[in-house]
A and B are shown apart, each in its own frame.
Chain A
Amino acid sequence: MNAAWLTVLQRDLLQAFRRRSDVATTVFFFLIVSSLFPLGMNPESETLSLIAPGVLWVAALLAGMLSLTRLFATDFADGSLEQMLLAPQPLTLMVLAKILAHWLVCGLPVVLLAPIIGLQYALPYEALQILMLSLLLGTPALSLIGAIGAALTLGVRGSGLLVALLVLPLYIPVLIFGAGAVAASQHGMSAQAHLSLLAACSLLALVLAPLATAAALRISVE
C-alpha cells in the first residue's frame, strides 16, 4: 500500500520535473496577476498593503486552479488512470499521492514566492510571516478541494472553465480565513484564530476530499 502511494508520488513528481515549463507557467501566472493590481490603481504603499492579503490570496487561488485540469487529464488520456482504478490498492490513497504531488509542484512554489510579492506590496515583516504561514496551511486545502472538481470534469468539453465555476465557490472559506489571518496581523491582532480555522479546513478536506475525488473518478471513467 505504501509502495503504491510512493510510486504514484514519485512518478507524478518525475513527470512534473520533465515538463518544467508547465510548473513555471503556474508560478509566472501568480507573479503576473499579483503584479497587475498595482498597475490598475494608485500604487501608494498604504493602499497596497491594505489590499495585499486579498490580492495575494486570490492570485494564489487562481494559480492553483489553473493547473487543476492537468491533474488527471494526462493519466486519463494515456490509460494509466484506468490502471489505477483497477489496481488492488485503494484508489483514495493513490489520489492522495497525486494531490500531494500537485501541491508540491503548484502550491509550494507559490508559498515560497509570496513573501517576495508581499515586499512589493509593502507588507511589514510580521505580516509576511503570517502570509507564508497562512498559505502553507491553506493551499493544501485548495489542492484537495480542487481535485474533486478536476475529477468531476474529467474529459468534459470546456472543462477548464467548468472547474472554475465548480471549485471557486468552495474555495471561499479558505480565502476568508487565509486573507483574514494576514489582515489581522496587519492590524496588530493575533492571527491565531484564523490560522487554526484554516488548518481545520485543510484537515477536513484531507479526510473527505480524497474519498470524494476517488468516487468522482469512478463516475467519470466508468
Chain B
Amino acid sequence: MKINWFKYSSPQNFYPLAGRMVPWFAWLAALLTIAGLYVSFFLAPPADFQQKEAYRIIFVHVPAAWMSMVIYIVMAAWAGIGLALNARLSAMMAQALAPTGAMFTLLALVTGSLWGKPTWGTWWVWDARLTSELILLFLYLGFIALQAAIDDPRRADRAGALLALVGAVNVPIIYFSVKWWNTLHQGSSISMGAAPKMVVTMLTGMLLMALAFWMYAIAVALMRARCIILERERNSEWVKELVGAEICGSQTKTGVNA
C-alpha cells in the first residue's frame, strides 16, 4: 500500500483538516486549563512560607517560558523545511506560530516581573534567564516585522525562514554569552535554583498548565494558518467556491430570517 505522505502538504487539503482539528485542541486546552488552575489554586500547598500566595504565578510563568522556547524551535524547523523543500504550507505554519511565540515570551516576562516584585523586591534584574528571554522576544519581533515589511508573500516566506534559521543558530551563542556576562558582573545574588523544593502537586499543576498551553498554541496556530491559507490562495478556484458558498449560505439564512 502506498501512502501519500504529502497529501496534507497542499493548502487545499490541509484547510479542512485543520478546521476539523481546531475544536479538539481548543477543547483540550480549555479542559486542561481548568484542571491546571484547579490544581494550582486549590490542591497545591497553601501559601508558601517565604513567597506567600505570589508563588502561584509560576504555574503560568514557567509553562509560558517553556512554550516561548519550544515555539521558536518549532517555528525555525517549519521555516527550514519550507526553505529546503520549497513547501508553501510549512512557511505558512512558521508565520502562524510567530505571534503565539511572541505572546508567550511576553507573558513569561510580564508574569516573571510580577513574581519578582514581591519575591525579589524588584521588577527586573539583569539575570541571565530574564535577559535571554528578552532577546528571544526581540528575535520574534524581528521575524514578524520582516515578514510584514515584504509584500511578495513568497519572498517574505523565504526571507523570514532564513532569519529564523540564523536566529536559531544564534540562540545558544546568545544564551551562553549572556550567562557568562551575568556571572562575571554580579555574583548571582538571586537564582531560580534556590527556590524551595517542589512538591508533587506543584509539579502536576505546572505540567497540566504546560499541556494546556501546548494545546492552546496548536489550536491558535492552526486557526491562524487557516486564515493565512484563505488570504494567500484567494485567487484559486477552491477558495472562491468555499467562500462563495459561505457567503451564499449566510445570505440565504439572513433572507429566511428577514
Judged by a CB distance under 8 angstroms, whether B149 is at the interface is yes
On chain B, the residues within 8 Å of A222 by CB distance are 155
The B92-121 residues at the A interface (CB cut-off 8 A) are none
**CB <8 Å contact, A212 and B142:** no
**CB <8 Å contact, A169 and B142:** yes
Q: Which of chain A's residues has its CB closest to B154's CB?
A: A222
How far is it, in angstroms, between the C-alpha of A92 and the C-alpha of B82 when the chains are bound? 22
Q: Which of chain B's residues has its CB closest to A218's CB?
A: B158
Report the interface size class on chain B: 20 to 34
Report the count of interface residues on A (CB-CB < 8 A).
29
**CB <8 Å contact, A220 and B177:** no
Judged by a CB distance under 8 angstroms, whether A156 is at the interface is yes
Q: Which of chain B's residues has its CB closest to A193's CB?
A: B180
**CB <8 Å contact, B177 and A173:** yes
Judged by a CB distance under 8 angstroms, whether B247 is at the interface is no
Out of A157, A162, A176, name the residue touching B181 (CB < 8 Å).
Answer: A176
The secondary-structure label for the interface of chain A is helix
Interface pick from B38-46, B51-59, B160-168: B160-168
Task: Provide 21 A-B residue pairs closer than 8 Å at the C-beta atoms, listed in order of the A residue.
Answer: A165-B138, A165-B141, A165-B145, A165-B146, A166-B145, A166-B146, A168-B138, A169-B138, A169-B139, A169-B167, A170-B167, A170-B174, A172-B178, A173-B173, A173-B174, A176-B181, A180-B181, A184-B184, A197-B177, A212-B166, A220-B159
Judged by a CB distance under 8 angstroms, whether A208 is at the interface is yes
CB of A31 to closest CB in B, whole Å: 27
**CB <8 Å contact, A219 and B184:** no
Judged by a CB distance under 8 angstroms, whether B135 is at the interface is yes
How far is it, in angstroms, between the C-alpha of A173 and the C-alpha of B175 when the chains are bound? 9
List 9 additional contacts besides A165-B142, A170-B174; criterion CB under 8 Å: A152-B159, A152-B162, A153-B146, A168-B138, A169-B135, A169-B142, A184-B184, A212-B165, A222-B155
**CB <8 Å contact, B162 and A215:** yes
Judged by a CB distance under 8 angstroms, whether B150 is at the interface is yes
Judged by a CB distance under 8 angstroms, whether A121 is at the interface is no
Q: Which of chain B's residues has its CB closest to A216's CB?
A: B162
How far is it, in angstroms, between the C-alpha of A176 and the C-alpha of B174 when the chains are bound? 9
How far is it, in angstroms, between the C-alpha of A216 and the C-alpha of B158 when the chains are bound? 8
**CB <8 Å contact, B181 and A156:** no
Judged by a CB distance under 8 angstroms, whether B170 is at the interface is yes
On chain A, the residues within 8 Å of B159 by CB distance are 152, 216, 219-220
Nearest 7 interchain pairs by C-beta: A173-B177, A169-B138, A176-B181, A219-B158, A166-B142, A176-B177, A156-B149
CB of A155 to closest CB in B, whole Å: 9
**CB <8 Å contact, A176 and B178:** yes
On chain A, the residues within 8 Å of B181 by CB distance are 176, 180
The A173-213 residues at the B interface (CB cut-off 8 A) are 173, 176-177, 180, 184, 197, 201, 204, 208, 212
* Given A165-B141, A169-B135, A180-B184, CB of A219 within 8 Å of CB of B162: yes
How far is it, in angstroms, between the C-alpha of A152 and the C-alpha of B156 when the chains are bound? 9
Judged by a CB distance under 8 angstroms, whether B169 is at the interface is yes
How far is it, in angstroms, between the C-alpha of A106 and the C-alpha of B169 when the chains are bound? 26
On chain A, the residues within 8 Å of B169 by CB distance are 208
Interface string of A88-125 (1 = CB under 8 A from B): 00000000000000000000000000000000000000
